[in-house]
């Protein structure tokens, strides 16, 4: 996995996970003695956490050498370029706005699509300046421009827009701004600071802009599913294990971050009850300098009785000054006579969800509720008749302002899930029964397992290698242990990673129980088998494990099923002409997976299947291979026959791991498609295939297929081969 870090003399503005290039990804740019640009990318080994630098040089035009892997496959560029509604709206607005030769500035140019639209609108006259900070995209942009005969008509800068200077980089201020630097929340890609700098330094007074304006909207909703994603305290209140991760006084220390979360809300539309009409929140004009801070007070009338669990929000772009061209990210249940959402499903822009703290707010039809909305440079936040202190001193000596453990919403829901807890409890009880003075090591980032093992051990001695929390982590675990009536000092945290652990850390005692969920912070967007880091950790720790050490989970089973997935497949398929511009040269780099040349395969990508638009399961679930964690990590291979149960078009396979927690196979935690808190690995076919069950009347349908997989322990990669019979 490539991580991109944008480091320069100024602070990076792009701090939102919905940016086409995840902000946790990082780039370091340098200048060589010959003034060429060079970019260093950090390549991460998910099994070890080790990193190595990969160099990309501006002057290296060998595309095969530079991009011999789909470098940008996990970004949203491909999905964005496949969004025909977006592309058409921008093309129409640019043609309507750029009607004579002038200077056009494109910020965040990507493949240069908007720049080429602007140049074409001026018949190649005027000036177009394309600004793109990410070197691999600049290389792709130049390739696309060469394919379309545009290379000499557009001036390209491998810089952020706030690094451009009039007089040295560009001769004059621009008359027109065309830009698409929007995320699902609208502001997370640095829209406000970018516009501020552009208006102050790069644009003429009262410039023309595409888009012209953006407006954010919201709606109050009731949803048990959304409530479970954040209210850990309420959901764990009835847990039979007696563990309280968020007991009274600590509920504000552990939980999900107060922010907007990008999510496709249409799949949960039937589980969601609207409690208000849609309401306008903020309006941002691109044609004038925006303010860094804004707030508004709204009085919202309830349209039904219920409990407000969340605010669902979206935005609408007005692309032209006259207000005839729009683009909306509204969920499909929102209808407008003048504004339509994209016809095709897309993943690069979703709705956003803001969780109302705790168990929500009760309202009655016709009643009023006050909403206080605030925006800063990169985010929007809300308050509904609630005040959350950030400086409260808790009874255990923890200060909320100094320390908060932020969980991903899915992890908070898992920790509050009674079924998941019972599986963990069953596995732990079965191995602890009759064993005293047992030393346990928790190998991953779990805060639940140290408490669970300590509670049910006769003489608890638990070590947590949760190195990120360090001293505050120990304070939290000790406070949570007291709230769960556990002995004092029964849990020890080690302020180092698993790779550095020695017998000194265990007081010269061998570990009797190695346990993990497994769960690692930062792996939320990774493929399921990348949590096999636990297997790598277990191997690394072999020297401190006792001969009869118990390993939980004891094994992992890679499982799969064939899927009908037209929306995701279309969004990830190969590009050809986009509004008249050839983009076929970028497919390999962007990880396209449809209509590929023979013998070429698209990458396997992490998605929650239920978030992927229309989908259907076309086969039985089958086992592909097993990973035995009682042994050291090794090469694994497996092959299974796919038995189709329905007639339909197969677009690929969903793969996941079921974690077998005990040696008796009695406690199994599945992460499959029917479990909405986990991501699956989605392997899309180069060409969709019509399939059917045995005896199908469709003579073109394949009735079976073989799927092979091999796991490489040196790099954590899973190679998947399929053959339709």
Q: Which residues are catalytic?
A: 180, 189
Asked if residue 237 lies in contact with residue 309, where contact means CB atoms within 8 angstroms, the answer is no
Residue 402, both tokens: 């100094």
Measured distance CA(549)–CA(533) in Å, rounded? 19
Residue 609, φ and ψ in degrees, nearest 5 = -55, -35
> What residues form DSSP beta bridges with 691?
648, 702
> What residues form DSSP beta bridges with 218?
279, 313
- Per the document, the length of the chain is 725
Asked if residue 126 lies in contact with residue 103, where contact means CB atoms within 8 angstroms, the answer is yes
Measured distance CA(14)–CA(107) in Å, rounded? 13
| Cα 321 from chain centre | 34
Q: Three-state SS string across 18-73, please?
A: CCCCCCCCEEEEEECCCCCEEEEEEEECCCCCCEEEEEEECCCCCHHHHCCCCCCC
Residue 355, φ and ψ in degrees, nearest 5 = -85, 130
Residue 633, both tokens: 């990590």
Asked if residue 225 lies in contact with residue 412, where contact means CB atoms within 8 angstroms, the answer is no
Measured distance CA(495)–CA(192) in Å, rounded? 39
Asked if residue 79 lies in contact with residue 682, where contact means CB atoms within 8 angstroms, the answer is no
What are the strands of the beta sheet with 294-301, ordered from one edge? 294-301, 368-375, 380-384
Measured distance CA(650)–CA(446) in Å, rounded? 37
Residue 551, both tokens: 């390993």
State the burial class of residue 347 (Cβ atoms within 10 Å of its Cβ: 0-12, 13-18, 19+). buried
| Contact partners, residue 98, CB within 8 Å, separation at least 6 | 104, 118, 121, 122, 126, 176, 178, 208
> What residues form DSSP beta bridges with 131?
107, 157
Asked if residue 25 lies in contact with residue 19, where contact means CB atoms within 8 angstroms, the answer is no
State the burial class of residue 602 (Cβ atoms within 10 Å of its Cβ: 0-12, 13-18, 19+). buried
Asked if residue 197 lies in contact with residue 162, where contact means CB atoms within 8 angstroms, the answer is yes
Q: Can you tell me whether residue 609 is helix, strand or coil?
A: helix
Measured distance CA(647)–CA(268) in Å, rounded? 26
Nearest partner of 227 among 60, 354, 381, 365, judged by Cα? 354
Strand intervals (E) in 494-646: 511-515, 545-552, 555-564, 577-578, 581-582, 604-607, 616-617, 622-628, 636-643
Give the chain's largest Cα–Cα span: 85
Strand intervals (E) in 583-629: 604-607, 616-617, 622-628
- Asked if the bond preceding 553 is cis, omega within 30° of 0, the reply is yes
């Amino acid at each position: 996995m490539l991580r991109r870090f944008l480091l320069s003399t100024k602070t990076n503005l792009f701090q939102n996970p919905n940016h086409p290039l995840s902000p946790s990804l990082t780039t370091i740019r340098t200048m060589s003695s010959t003034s060429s640009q060079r970019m260093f990318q950090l390549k991460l080994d998910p099994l070890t956490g080790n990193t190595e630098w990969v160099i990309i040089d501006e002057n290296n035009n060998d595309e095969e050498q530079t991009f011999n892997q789909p470098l940008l496959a996990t970004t949203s560029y491909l999905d964005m370029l496949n969004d025909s509604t977006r592309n058409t709206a921008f093309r129409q607005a640019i043609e309507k706005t750029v009607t004579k030769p002038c200077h056009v500035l494109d910020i965040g140019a990507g493949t240069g699509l908007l720049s080429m639209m602007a140049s074409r609108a001026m018949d190649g006259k005027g000036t177009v300046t394309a600004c793109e900070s990410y070197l691999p995209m600049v290389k792709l942009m130049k390739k696309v421009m060469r394919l379309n005969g545009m290379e000499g008509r557009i001036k390209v800068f491998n810089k952020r827009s706030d690094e451009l200077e009039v007089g040295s980089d560009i001769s004059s201020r621009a008359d027109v701004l065309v830009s698409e630097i929007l995320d699902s929340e609208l502001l997370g890609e640095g829209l406000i600071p970018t516009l501020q700098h552009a208006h102050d330094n790069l644009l003429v007074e009262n410039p023309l802009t595409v888009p012209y304006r953006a407006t954010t909207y919201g709606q109050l909703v009731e949803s048990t599913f959304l409530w479970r994603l954040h209210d850990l305290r309420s959901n764990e209140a009835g847990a039979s294990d007696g563990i309280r991760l968020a007991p009274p006084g600590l509920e504000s220390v552990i939980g999900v971050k107060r922010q907007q979360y990008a999510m496709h809300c249409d799949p949960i539309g039937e589980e969601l009850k609207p409690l208000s009409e849609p309401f306008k929140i903020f309006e941002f004009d691109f044609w004038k300098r925006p303010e860094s801070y804004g707030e508004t007070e709204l009085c919202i009338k309830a349209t039904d009785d219920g409990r407000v669990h969340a605010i669902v929000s979206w935005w609408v772009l007005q692309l032209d000054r006259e207000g005839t061209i729009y683009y909306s990210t509204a969920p499909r249940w929102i209808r407008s006579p003048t504004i339509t959402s994209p016809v095709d499903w897309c993943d690069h822009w979703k709705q956003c969800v803001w969780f109302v703290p705790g168990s929500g707010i009760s309202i009655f039809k016709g009643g009023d509720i006050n909403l206080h909305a605030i925006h800063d440079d990169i985010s929007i936040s809300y308050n509904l008749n609630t005040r959350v202190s950030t400086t409260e001193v808790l009874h255990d000596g923890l200060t909320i302002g100094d320390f908060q453990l932020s969980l991903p919403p899915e992890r908070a829901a898992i920790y509050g899930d009674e079924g998941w807890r019972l599986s963990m409890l069953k596995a732990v009880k079965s191995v602890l029964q009759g064993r005293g003075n047992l030393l346990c090591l928790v190998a991953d980032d779990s805060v639940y397992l140290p408490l669970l093992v300590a509670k049910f051990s006769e003489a608890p001695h638990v070590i947590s290698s949760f190195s990120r929390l360090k001293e505050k982590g120990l304070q939290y675990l000790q406070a949570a242990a007291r709230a769960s009536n556990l002995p004092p000092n029964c849990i020890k945290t080690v302020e180092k990673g698993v790779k550095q652990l020695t017998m000194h850390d265990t007081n010269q005692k061998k570990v009797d129980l190695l346990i993990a969920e497994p769960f690692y912070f930062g792996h939320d967007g990774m493929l399921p088998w990348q949590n096999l880091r636990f297997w790598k950790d277990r191997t690394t720790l072999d020297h401190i494990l006792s001969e009869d050490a118990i390993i939980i989970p004891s094994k992992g089973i890679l499982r799969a099923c064939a899927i009908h997935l037209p929306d995701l497949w279309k969004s990830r398929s190969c590009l050809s002409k986009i509004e008249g511009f050839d983009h076929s040269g970028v497919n390999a780099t962007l990880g396209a997976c449809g209509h590929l040349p023979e013998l070429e395969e698209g990458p396997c990508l992490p998605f929650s299947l239920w978030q992927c638009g229309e989908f259907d399961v076309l086969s039985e679930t089958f086992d592909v291979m097993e990973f035995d964690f009682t042994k050291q990590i090794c090469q694994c291979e497996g092959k299974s026959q796919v038995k189709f149960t329905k007639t339909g078009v197969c677009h690929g396979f969903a793969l996941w791991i079921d974690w077998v927690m005990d040696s008796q196979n009695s406690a199994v935690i599945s992460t499959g498609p029917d479990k909405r808190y986990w991501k699956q690995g989605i392997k899309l076919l180069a060409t969709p295939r019509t399939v059917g069950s045995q005896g199908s009347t469709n003579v073109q349908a394949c009735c079976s297929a073989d799927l092979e997989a091999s796991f490489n322990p040196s790099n954590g990669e899973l190679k998947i081969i399929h053959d339709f019979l």
